[in-house]
Chain A
Amino acid sequence: MTATLGATDPGGRPLAAVLRAETRLFLREPGSLFWILVFPAALLTILGLIPSFRKDDEALGGRSVIDLYVPVAVLLAMIMAGLQAMPPVLTGYRERGILRRMSATPVRPSALLTAQIVLHGAAALGSAVLVLAVGRLAFGVGLPRQSAGYATALLLAVACVLALGATVCALSRTSKVAAAVGSVAYLVMMFTAGVWVPVQTMPDLLRRIVEFTPFGAASQALDQAALGDWPGWTHLGVMVVWTAVLGAASTRLFRWE
């Protein structure tokens, strides 16, 4: 046993080691992996199995319900990652004294939080790719025509949801509170992302309001890019502002103990 023990020394830089360890831990959370990576694509599949949802509809501008649900499923993955999975992890790290233990080493405890934020963001983007692939391969939903615009909107939406999740952690004293606050925010975000009623089919006034929420804006931006236009600057701007405000709020308000 000692031979195998002494032989390998991963070495490497501390931050890389933190990221590696946190990646392993992330992969040990089957619940999070399911809700972030499997559920959105599975939901799209189930909806796609309903024949009428695959038919183009005049009322939807000649598109099918499933066309509209691809961006919804993409946003769902992000909401799952940023608001459902991440807040309890970050608050748990504070609550269990994990950040405290790390703060007595040369590495700052923020490295742990950063690693978790990066991992949840990466999982959300991975899930988005999976959803696009399922939409394309199983139901013939065209890939986004304005791919650079789509990627931009996607990255901004991820940044926005991670900043929102981080703010939930910063404001919650315990992981129980974080889970509760996260769930409320999660339902609101699901609505504004168009999970129940796609944003594009919402009544005019409601849609205009929803467009000023992070996911209402994201939903519109993704939809425009999917159709081949560069996403509207207002929508991108809404996401930038939310990300900046929430990001600043969370770093300012976060309690380390």
Chain B
Amino acid sequence: MPIIEVNEVRKAYGGRLAVDGVSFHVDEGEIFGILGPNGAGKTTTVECVEGLRVPDAGTVRVAGLDPVTDREQVTRLLGAQLQESGLQPKLTVREALELYSSFYPEPADRWALAERLGLDAHLDRRFGKLSGGQKQRLFIALALIGNPKVVVLDELTTGLDPRARRDTWRLIEEVRENGVTVLLVTHFMEEAQRLCDRVAVIDKGRVVALDTPAGLIDRSTGSTVISFTPSQPLPDTGELSRLPGAVSVSADGPDGRITVHGDDDTADAVISLLAAHGITARQLRVLETSLDDAFLDLTEQDT
């Protein structure tokens, strides 16, 4: 059952269309990702879900409620971590947690939350004195402090070091295990691949793809990447591009390293071809394309 429904939402700023008919729904308990290049309309879309912006057209429902007209009810069940927001510079972490938990009828255990996010050592530090990563973690805590049913996280791990990022991912997984629905805006493919059940790719204000991360990868052409350095130059590189499933062949680097995009059959065929010529493939790598490549594929097409 969908807990977030976004239908044909449009939003323009001063004549420039930021969101141009975006639709998707998020099921209860799902981690749903929104991916897209900068300026694609991701943040505007989630701001409509959070009730911070009023769509020019289309409808948004959170648990059946309109985030604008039923603002108070929606804000009680939706926690948000926003971009470009701040707290009073002289407010301490402890005071921020106390203040924000007083806003909700049944707040989470804020001290457990602080500990979970590694903020327990900085409770008496003022917001203005926190590092970027600490601020980010505090905002994640504030998004979760009201025991929300839905959390919207905009650029969750921006500014976090790799360890904190992984910790945060684990936290989000825990949050979901407790039945919370997560709407995640990100530009880290690794993050989307690791966390999301489904991903909507938004480009120029429109949804260009909506699938599971694996589905998006499969969709992209040449999902297997074979690369190697031949022990001696190939007599005819054209042979490679005629192999089954091969999509593209490129040779680069001073050592003549060759990269072939294709599928699993292509990998086999490359190896047989090289064997037939008596060429050894040095540093042979067969990789699946990442969501990164799939993403570039999807968002490049119409540029």
A residues neighboring B (CB under 8 Å): 1-2, 5-6, 10-14, 17-18, 21-22, 24-25, 28-29, 93, 96-98, 100-101, 103-107
Contact = CB atoms under 8 A, between A and B. Distances in A.
A97 B86 contact: yes
A21 B95 contact: yes
B75 to A, nearest CB: 5
Nearest to A12: B102
Interface centre among A5, A24, A107 (most CB of B within 10 A): A5
A21 B99 contact: yes
A106 B75 contact: yes
Interface centre among A14, A21, A97 (most CB of B within 10 A): A21
Given A96-B89, A98-B87, A24 B80 contact: no
Given A93-B88, A97-B82, A104 B103 contact: no
B104 interface: yes
Given A21-B95, A25-B91, A106-B75, A101 B102 contact: no
B103 A107 contact: yes
B53 to A, nearest CB: 10
Contacts of A21: 88, 91, 95, 98-99
Nearest to A1: B120
Contacts of A11: 102
Contacts of B78: 104
A106 B146 CA distance: 10
25 contacts: A1-B120, A5-B111, A5-B123, A6-B111, A10-B102, A12-B102, A14-B103, A21-B88, A97-B86, A98-B88, A100-B52, A100-B82, A100-B84, A100-B85, A101-B82, A101-B139, A101-B142, A104-B52, A104-B80, A104-B82, A105-B75, A105-B100, A105-B103, A106-B75, A107-B103
Specify the main secondary structure of chain B where it touches its partner: loop
Contact of B84 (A14, A24, A97): A97
B85 A2 contact: no
Contacts of A93: 88
B104 A106 contact: yes
Contacts of B103: 14, 17, 105-107
The 3 closest A-B pairs by CB, nearest first: A97-B85, A17-B102, A101-B85
Contacts of A17: 98-99, 102-103
B165 interface: no
B72 interface: yes
Interface string B68-107: 0000100110101010111111110001001110111000
A137 to B, nearest CB: 34
B86 A106 contact: no
A102 B301 CA distance: 39
B11 to A, nearest CB: 14
B50 interface: yes
A12 B104 CA distance: 11
B236 to A, nearest CB: 60
A27 B233 CA distance: 76
A14 B111 contact: no
A103 B80 CA distance: 10
